[in-house]
Structure 1
Amino acid sequence: MPAKDIYHNTVKNALLKDGWNITDDPFILKWGTRDLYIDLGAKKLIAAEKGEQKIAVEIKSFIGASPVANLENALGQYILYYDILNRLEPNRRLYLAIRQETFSDLFEEPIGKILLENQRLRLLVFDSEQEVILQWIP
C-alpha cells in the first residue's frame, strides 16, 4: 500500500467538518490483477429523497521541485483512477484535493485554467491550516 500524502489527515478532517462520512481509507480499486489505492472514499446524505452522494478523493501536496511536473503526475493518476472508477462505480465522483496555494499557483494561470475550462478534472480546494474545504470545482 502506498504512503499517505502529507495532507491526508488534513483533508480527512476537512471532509468530516463538511459533513462527510469517511467510508474507505484508502478506497481500493480492483482492476484485473491490479489493486489501485485512491486516498479516501466518502459519502454524504444529501436529502431523504435524493439519497447519498459518494465521492473518492485523491490528495496531492504538490511539494516537488516543479509544479508542472507535479501536475502532470497528478493528472496521469487522476485519469487512470477516473476511467476505472467510472466502470466500477459510475455514481461515485472523483476529486483531486489540493491546497489553496496550489490552486492559486497553477489553476489561476493559463495552464490550469484550460483544464478547468475543458472540465478535465474535479478539484477539492482546502485550507491546510484551518482544515476546511474552500471550494468544490465543478
Structure 2
Amino acid sequence: MLRHILVATDGSPLSTHAVRKAVTLASKLGARMTALHVMQPFRVVTFVPEMLEDTETQYLEHARSQAEVILADVTETARAADVPCEVVTLTHEHPYEAIISTAQAKDCDMIAMASHGRRGIQATIIGSETQKVLTHSQLPVLVFR
C-alpha cells in the first residue's frame, strides 16, 4: 500500500500533468505527497540562457522564485484534493540523484514523474532524468506521459 509519494516537477506542461495525476492517485489511496523541484547550480560555462545573461546571484534569485511558483501550484492542487503535501527545493548537479535521495530520506513508497519523451540525438546529448531515476532507484517509479 502506498502511503507517501514523491512527485518530481520542473514546472513544464508535462510535469504539471504528472503532478495532477499523482495528486489524484494520492487522493484515491489516502496517501500524502512530497513535491520536489531540483534547481541546477550556477555554471560559468553553460547553454542555459538564464545563466548566460545573469550573475550567479541573479540566477539563484530567479531559480528560487521560479521554484516557489512551481511548488505553489503543486501545493494548491494537492490542497484542492485534500492531499497532505510537503514541498522541497534543492540545488543539485544531478537532479536524478536528488530525486532518489529525497525519496529515501522522506521514506517515500514511490516516485512519480513525467517523461519528456526525448528521442534520438537529443536523448543522447541531454539524457533523461526520468531514465536515470528508473535505472538507479530501488523504489517503484511511476512515469506519466
TM-score range, shorter chain: 0.3 to 0.5
Higher helix share: 2
TM-score, normalised with respect to structure 1 = 0.35
Greater relative CO (CA pairs within 8 A, separation 6+):
2
TM-score, normalised with respect to structure 2 = 0.34
Q: Name the larger-Rg structure.
A: 2
